[in-house]
Amino acid sequence: MLLCHLDELPDGSTRGFKVAGLRCKVIVVRRGDRVYGWRDLCPHYAGGTPMAWKRDAYLNGEGTHIACAAHGAWFEIDTGVCVQGPCLGKRLTRVPLEIRSDGTVAMATSGR
Amino acid sequence: MQIIGPDVLVFGVDDVPACHEFLTAYGLDAQDYTPEKGGLFTGLDGTGLEIRRRDDPSLPPALKTGNMLRMQVIGVVDEAALEAVQAELSKDRQVLRLADGSLRCQDDQGFELAFRVTTRKPLDMPGEKVNAPYHPARAANAIGVSEDMPARPRSLSHVVLFVPDVDVAVGFYRDRLGFRITDTLTGAGPFLRPQANPDHHTHFFIRTPVYMQGCEHLAFHMGGPTELMLAGSRMIRAGFESFWGPGRHKFGSNWFWYFKSPLGCNVEFDADMDIHDDDWAPREAPMGPEAAQAFLFQYRDKWAPTGGPGGPKP
Ligand code: FES
Ligand SMILES: [Fe+2]
């Protein structure tokens, strides 16, 4: 499943993508030449709820963590672990991503 | 004790311009705002939110949990009421009297408080009027809705706090400050109103682990459900994200629509809340989807059915 091209994802930026068949968006965070994918579901409440306060606004002010704007939970960008706020110790659900040779970012095909 | 309720909630945030973008879209007026220092964001009666950088040295200390609420400024009716608060709270804690006449102290769980004679300006604006059969409330030719009608938050309504110990919270706000418990959601906590405010609640406490202590949400009153629906729809169309609503709560009867915010808590529009006096007998219900709302809807894009099959020609 193709999400975007690296050119549409400047270093340090974050975007949410709707994906057919998934009930939540997929958050993609770019850090240098790495991309991290997470389900847009805050684990504070059972079942999870979407986290941004505005389209694509997934990071805290300093850009150091993914933040849930409902009650301020902070998650590490590389591990998805909540380090502050209501879901302390819980983690986001990873969406494995791959960067293809042509620079497109895609959800890794299953089995990888 | 003649307390009215929060005049201002003070936040120390990590993204001041984002808060400005959000709160002005929400309909508050930015006063003395700069992106470096923040500012005061007011509803129509002058109550509001003070937004500063989290490292602003003028702010009281932050909660250890990372929650961005820094202080509640609580309005009382007059100087005698302020003295009554000072006399009561001075019994067991330090209460400072600042140069501007306000009081400063902490509650029993470390929430910072200020008290002052309220500066809110009562509004001379009618509420929403509803025409019912045989009982029209609007004059002939007065229309009920237009796309561009104003829908601005009128007055700071309530703050909801995650607290480690509900009994300690009640021991302070009810037993020391004279708040009344109006209703209780068992498993969550009580709704409270101060004596000089008939609103169903200015405070609601939710029991949580210690590491969650802070503000769960805050709300401003709108002029009625139509203003609430319009304001929320405008937020959605501008790209902001709903957390819960629109719907109508059971306890308090207030219409609600919650939006996530860069203040690290939800920010709610509310409308048509019940008012009470001391004849009210508090109710109790177990917290859950049934008790939390009479009904709940979700925003969808505008759409229209028309006459023939296939819909209107483009
Ligand atoms: S829903 Fe995300 S922190 Fe509460
Ligand atoms: Fe509320």
Note the residue count of chain A: 112
How many CB atoms lie under 10 A from the CB of residue B212? 24
CB within 8 Å: B264 and A84: no
User: In 3-state terms, what secondary structure has residue A72?
Assistant: coil
Buried b (16+ CB within 10 A) or exposed e, B118-153: bebeeeeeeebeeeeeeeeeeeeeeeeeeeeeebbb
Q: Residue B313: its pLDDT value, please?
A: 63
> With contact defined as beta carbons under 8 Å apart, do B183 and B190 qualify?
yes
Q: What is the dihedral of CA B286, B289, B295, B300, to 10 degrees?
A: 160
How many C-beta neighbours within 10 Å does residue A101 have?
A: 5
CB pairs under 8 A between A and B: 67
Question: Per the structure block, which two tokens stand in for B69?
Answer: 């609420």
- Residue-wise pLDDT for B129-176, tens only, equals 999 999 999 999 999 999 999 999 999 999 999 999 999 999 999 999
A11 CB neighbour count, 10 Å cutoff: 10
CATH of B3-121+153-296, one of 3.10.180.10, 3.40.50.12160, 3.40.30.10, 1.20.210.10: 3.10.180.10
Using 50, 70 and 90 to split pLDDT, how confident is the model at B307? confident
Check A53 against B240: CB less than 8 A apart: yes
Residue found by looking up tokens 């002058």 in the block: B46
How is residue A68 written in tokens? 């849930």
- Going by pLDDT thresholds of 50, 70 and 90, the confidence category of residue B306 is confident
Question: Which of B314, B135, B295, B151 lies closest to B229 in space, CA to CA?
Answer: B151
B294 Ramachandran zone, left/alpha/beta (phi>0; psi -120 to 50): alpha
- The domain limits of chain B are 3-121+153-296
Residue predicted with more confidence, B179 or A33? B179
Which residue's entry shows tokens 């177990």?
B286
Residue type, B129: K
Confidence of residue A112 (pLDDT cuts 50, 70, 90): very low
**What percentage of residues in chain B have a pLDDT greater than 90?**
96
Answer whether B56 touches A (CB < 8 Å): no
Q: What is the pLDDT of residues A9-55, one digit of tens each?
A: 999 999 999 999 999 999 999 999 899 999 999 999 999 999 999 99
Residue A70 CB less than 6 A away from ligand 1:
yes
Residue of B nearest to A57 (CA): B262
Q: Is B299 on the interface with A (CB under 8 A)?
A: no
Q: Which residue(s) pair with B71 in the sheet?
A: B10
Name residue A9's amino acid: L
Mean pLDDT of chain B: 97
**Residue of A45, A53, A82 best to disrupt the B interface, most CBs of B under 10 A:** A53
* CA dist., res. A74 & res. B66, Å (int): 9
The answer to whether residue B314 scores a pLDDT higher than 80 is no
Q: What is the pLDDT of residue B261?
A: 98
Q: How confident is the model at residue A109, as a pLDDT?
A: 79
Q: How far is the CA of A93 from the centre of ligand 2 (A)?
A: 30
pLDDT at B89 over 50: yes
Q: Which residues of B touch A70 (CB under 8 A)?
A: 243, 260, 265-266
pLDDT of residue B309: 81
Buried b or exposed e, range B159-186, using 16+ CB within 10 angstroms: bbbbbbebeebbebbeebbbbbbbbbbe
| pLDDT tops 60 at residue A111 | no
User: What tokens does B110 get?
Assistant: 């470390």
CA–CA dist A51, A59 (Å, integer): 10
Ligand 1 atom nearest A86 alpha carbon: 3
- Sorted by sequence, the CB contacts under 8 Å of residue B193 that are 6+ apart come out as B5, B179, B180, B182, B199, B200, B201, B202, B203, B276
Model confidence over B248-295: pLDDT tens digits? 999 999 999 999 999 999 999 999 999 999 999 999 999 999 999 999
Q: How confident is the model at residue A110 (pLDDT cuts 50, 70, 90)?
A: low
Q: Three-state SS for A33?
A: coil
Whether residue B67 lies within 8 A of chain A, CB to CB, comes out as yes
Binding-face residues of B in 208-227 toward A, CB within 8 A: 208-209, 211-212, 214, 216
Nearest to B264 among A50, A57, A71 (CB): A71
Write out pLDDT tens, residues B39-82: 999 999 999 999 999 999 999 999 999 999 999 999 999 999 99
Chain B residue with CA closest to A60: the answer is B14
**Chain A residues within 8 A of B241 when measuring between CB atoms:** 50, 52-55, 69
Q: How confident is the model at residue B312 (pLDDT cuts 50, 70, 90)?
A: low
A26 lines ligand 1 (CB under 6 A): no
- Closest-CA residue, ligand 1 atom 4, reads A71
For residue A83, count other CB atoms closer than 10 A to its CB.
14
According to the model, what pLDDT value does residue B300 have? 94
Per-residue pLDDT band for B308 (boundaries 50, 70, 90) equals confident
Q: Is A45 on the interface with B (CB under 8 A)?
A: no
Domains within chain A, CATH numbers bracketed: 2-107 (2.102.10.10)
Are residues A54 and B22, on separate chains, in Cβ contact within 8 Å?
Answer: yes
Q: CB of B268 within 8 A of CB of B257? A: yes
Instruction: List chain A residues with CB under 8 Å of B240.
Output: 53-54
